[in-house]
Amino acid sequence: MKWDGTSLELIDQRKLPHVEEYVKCQTSGCVADAIKKMIVRGAPAIGASAAFGYVLGAIENRKDLNVETMEKVKDKLANTRPTAVNLFWALERMHKRFLSAISENSDDNAIINVLNEEAERIANEDIQVNKQMGNLGQELLPEDATVITHCNAGALATVDYGTAVGVIHAALDHGKTIHAYVDETRPYLQGARLTAWELMKLGVDTTLICDNMAGWVMKTRKVDAIIVGADRIAANGDTANKIGTYSLASLAKKHGVKVYVAAPLSTIDTKIKSGSEIPIEERSHEEVTHVQGVKIAPDGVKVYNPAFDVTDAEMIDAIITEKGILRYPYTESIKKLFE
């Protein structure tokens, strides 16, 4: 993403890896649309984009900059996608900063400058957090490691560097050798289109597999770990991530493969006690009945398309955060992080 203070340019992830095209947003509505239509995706990237969208909302309403107006901007951005908690975390942080700024200053330009600084701070913090997670998480991998990835948790899903892919990136920087099996991640193919592309750019030995091949790969190849990101982690460690993560974790337990989740503290929702409380987004049926615009299913077939599933905390061997590596049981270790 590129931010110049008055506009946000986002790479259109729907068109990767074949076309590198940017969408330029100069309104909060455009940012909201970009999040909803998955032009931008990945929990940290959504959060940072929403923060910049909030600034654009303030610029749009500079002649009528008040609490009621900015609450409408916040709600418009918040109502785009329900599962990724980083979206709500970033918007709450921006709105809190706005309330503080407007109580201290009546100059609209000064308030907008304060909001701009806060949004840029959120974006810059994300990069540093990802690098910290990467350095901590790479210690979990052997010198010559084989991993399975699911969905996309690389630079495209963040402001830069990545969460799960950030761990791989850091391992390479420490001289380790990584072999990656990349789940295609149906129905949106984030693994095939995005993660494979990113890992190949990093120079990783990358092998693309269909989602339903992962179990056989674990059984017949030496797989050290599954590394994934997260969209929301409950207070007990239950983790919502892209649909298919739960299946991978179940297979991993069968085959003795470690399951690692890499996620910043902003992804942990301490207000939610367990995964049963996490809202699961259901997306368009066409994502299942069509592949890249080509219809593959019969007319009138019923479709169920949850975008996420929840992996039970006890199935996760470690949660990698910027403040340290957490182990099961997670309730106490997560609580300590926020004290």
Could you give the residue numbers annotated as active site? Answer: 231
CA atoms within 13 A on the CB side of 7: 7
Contact 115, 159 (CB under 8 A): no
To the nearest 5 percent, what fractions of the chain are helix, strand and coil? 50, 20, 35
Residue 202: closest CA among 254, 147, 242, 266: 147
Q: Give the pair of three-digit tokens for residue 13.
A: 């992830």
Give the integer Cα–Cα distance in Å for 139 and 154: 18
- Name residue 196's beta-bridge partners: none
For 263, counting Cβ atoms within 10 Å of its Cβ (0-12 exposed, 13-18 middle, 19+ buried), the class is buried
Contacting residues for 326 by C-beta, under 8 A, at least 6 apart: 237, 318, 319, 320, 333, 334, 337
The sign one gets for the Cα dihedral 190, 187, 240, 271 is positive
Give the integer Cα–Cα distance in Å for 152 and 23: 20
Instruction: Give counts: helices (H), strands (E), the chain.
Output: 12, 16
Q: Beta-carbon neighbour count of residue 107 at 10 Å?
A: 10
Give the integer Cα–Cα distance in Å for 210 and 98: 46
Q: Beta-carbon neighbour count of residue 214 at 10 Å?
A: 23
Residue 325: closest CA among 172, 175, 141: 141
CA atoms within 13 A on the CB side of 315: 21
CA atoms within 13 A on the CB side of 296: 12
